Structure 1
Amino acid sequence: MSHYKPYLAYKGSGVEWLGRVPEHWEITPLKYEAEFVNGAAFKPEQWSEIGTPIIRIENLNGSLNFNCFDREMDARYHVEQGDLLFGWSGNRGTSFGPFIWPHAGRHYLNQHIFRICNFKFDKAWFYWSLKAVTAHVEDQAHGIIGMVHITKGDLGGIKIAIPTLAEQQAISAHLDRETARIDALIEKKTRFIELLREKCQALITHAVTKGLDPNVRMKDSGVEWLGVVPESWKMLPLKRLISSIGQGWSPECEARVPEEGEWGVVKVGCVNGGVFRPEESKALPTEMEPRPELSLRAGDVLISRANTRELVGSCAVVPHDYPYLLLCDKLYRVGCGEHVMPNFLAALVTVYGRRAVEIEATGASSSMVNIAQSVILDLLVAVPDADEQVEIISRVSAATTRIEHLREKTERSIKLLKERRSALITAAVTGQIDLRETV
């Protein structure tokens, strides 16, 4: 913010989150400046496929999957394009906070969302001011994981700082321009991460299906999608390579990561991205008896058996013993036989399993997909000898480590951009920076 200048004179606001504000700005609670109309409590049996679309929380996030209501509702529940909405119970950073409704035509408002009306501000400025309020509320709820909510009374009691109309317009114009620039950078970096993931997957796929020597003699695998494989590799079902397969336990856990020495149960997301993440776990309640036989051991190959279509079949190797972390029900634990290394088995499952998911899950309507044990056990895979497995995994690990470092660096830069965006919004709507000459 160093290239922005401050106002010449400030006064104390008496409000902690606002701090000192420009001397001529007014301080007032939101409840005196706008009306917050809660949506209707539609019941599932009232939904239909025809009629007026109902705006639910998921639609604030861009989903075009609408339930409809085929009768007339009171005008207070009507939403038109350009209306200012506020999701008062939703996920932090996504569905919680203000939205300007982008779609044409009449819609009805569902509960957990306010329609904000009867205000005299520049709408765009009020939107940005409410974004700063949202960041403040989320900061206050820092100990809460996932969903955040605020009551109408608590939201109305939050005080904001109000500049002149000309300043409101200058602030909103600057924020529209600068946040669009930041968002474009975030989008490019996010796409870059997607390309890195695709490159990593392509690298693993080629290595564990074709080997490292481009001049090696090849043979027909007998598997249509696989094509040819190195001549010396053996084709056999995965069940011939493993010593055991089982799944875990999913008790009702506490919504926090277990502390050191405390029992916990891993979540299905602990294998996302092909790397075991022990922090993706929940604490087992102290009154619940643990099941030590489900503790994770070095060399365990964990496979996601139930998840979204994009993540099901994710696979990772447990790098060392975790005596207090227990296997969950949504993961298979596979033990390796004497002819396959854990990391090579994980790579095989990642490549062959993903293909199996694509075939098995074709036409599945649910966003959640399951892989049966039989699908894993019957995977027909091509396997080299032990020495070649070691060489392939060594080469793949070196390449994927470089890609992973680049991905982490890009994710850090995205985090910094998001922090800068939030800080700029707060600084602008609380008067920490003077934007009157930036129009």
Structure 2
Amino acid sequence: MDSLRSDLPQVDHQPIGSVLLGIDSGKSVQAGGEASAEDEYRILKISAVQRGWFKPSEAKKLTEDAAFSPSHVVRDGDLLITRANTPERVGFVAVARNVPEGTFMPDLIWRLRVDEDHVSTAYLEHALSSRELRTRISDKSGGTSKSMVKINKRGFSAVRLPIPPLSEQGEYVRRCDAVVEGVTATRAEAARLRSVRAGLLSGLLNRTIEIEAAELGV
């Protein structure tokens, strides 16, 4: 995956700010424990945005009333970026997928509003997850703590990246997506096997699953 994402189109580089309509900030609120499917409202944890992967289950339930605006609501197709994290994880980018209703964006995550006339959201997700651009984003971070650094909108907007014609962007995305689909299928199968294993172990421990003893004859 890294090698494919790093095989960026060979065209002139432009500041990312030139292909964004804006950057939306999240909101800092008091959150409770892990969110469940029964919770009406939730707020994403910073771990929801991985390097080119989105994990909607990484969220906390809201425990206070807060004045949210439409700009704080996370929807499918949003391009999200972590604005603060460890030096190795700051600036992670992912497209939000399978977002439960009532999901909000925290202050440590931004939404990038993409000018789709010039660049596709899918292209930015893969390109900004490449090693070269990850390094450029990380170089824009700063802070007094080594364990938590931040990027600001001005510095991030100045990061330069190749912006080829939309047709070339599409070819790049198709190559990357083909690998992502394989990885996603592998992860889903691994999760299914873990679930089956956990069910078997639980059944054996509580004796809802019996293993009949067999006598072996010599």
TM-score w.r.t. structure 1 length?
0.40
Residue among 109, 116, 139 paired with 1:359: 139
Q: Which moved more, 1:267-276 or 1:313-322?
A: 313-322
Deviations 1:113-168 (A, max 9, x none): xxxxxxxxxxxxxxxxxxxxxxxxxxxxxxxxxxxxxxxxxxxxxxxxxxxxxxxx
In structure 2, distance between residues paired with 1:258 and 1:412: 20
Whether 1:310 aligns to 2:88 is yes
Residue among 390, 397, 408 paired with 2:177: 397
Whether 1:289 aligns to 2:66 is yes
Deviations 1:291-318 (A, max 9, x none): 1411112321100111112221111112
Could you tell me which residue of structure 1 aligns to residue 127 of structure 2? 348
Cα 1:272–1:380 change in 2 (3 A) is same
Cα 1:335–1:374 change in 2 (3 A) is same
Name the aligned partner's letter for residue 136 of structure 2.
A
Cα 1:367–1:409 change in 2 (3 A) is farther
TM-score w.r.t. structure 2 length?
0.77
Question: How far 1:275 sits from its partner (Å)?
Answer: 1.8
Question: How far 1:258 sits from its partner (Å)?
Answer: 4.3
Cα 1:407–1:318 change in 2 (3 A) is closer
Number of corresponding residues? 197
Q: Aligned ranges for residues 195-214 of structure 1 at < 5 Å?
A: 200-206=1-7, 209-210=8-9
Name the aligned partner's letter for residue 124 of structure 2.
L
Name the SS of the counterpart of 1:244 in structure 2: strand
5+ unaligned residues in a row in structure 2: which ranges? 206-218
5+ unaligned residues in a row in structure 1: which ranges? 1-199, 211-228, 427-439
Cα 1:255–1:320 change in 2 (3 A) is closer
Name the SS of the counterpart of 1:387 in structure 2: helix
Cα 1:268–1:382 change in 2 (3 A) is same
Residue among 256, 261, 276 paired with 2:54: 276
Whether 1:239 aligns to 2:17 is yes
Q: Aligned ranges for residues 12-27 of structure 1 at < 5 Å?
A: none
Cα 1:410–1:325 change in 2 (3 A) is closer
Deviations 1:261-297 (A, max 9, x none): 7111111111114222211111112x51351411112
Cα 1:357–1:386 change in 2 (3 A) is closer
Name the SS of the counterpart of 1:249 in structure 2: coil
Cα 1:325–1:358 change in 2 (3 A) is closer
Question: How far 1:389 sits from its partner (Å)?
Answer: 1.4
Question: How far 1:353 sits from its partner (Å)?
Answer: 4.1
In structure 2, distance between residues paired with 1:410 and 1:263: 29
In structure 1, distance between residues paired with 2:15 and 2:88: 24
Name the SS of the counterpart of 2:56 in structure 1: coil
In structure 1, distance between residues paired with 2:135 and 2:154: 15
Cα 1:366–1:236 change in 2 (3 A) is same
RMSD, aligned α-carbons: 3.0
Name the aligned partner's letter for residue 2 of structure 2.
Q
Aligned 8 A contact 1:298 1:320 in 2: yes
Cα 1:412–1:201 change in 2 (3 A) is farther
Could you tell me which residue of structure 2 aligns to residue 382 of structure 1? 162
In structure 1, distance between residues paired with 2:189 and 2:99: 29
Cα 1:346–1:313 change in 2 (3 A) is same
Aligned 8 A contact 1:271 1:315 in 2: yes
Structure scoring higher RCO (CA < 8 A, sep ≥ 6) equals 2
Aligned 8 A contact 1:243 1:335 in 2: yes
Cα 1:291–1:364 change in 2 (3 A) is closer
Question: How far 1:355 sits from its partner (Å)?
Answer: 1.1
In structure 2, distance between residues paired with 1:363 and 1:281: 25
Name the aligned partner's letter for residue 312 of structure 1.
V
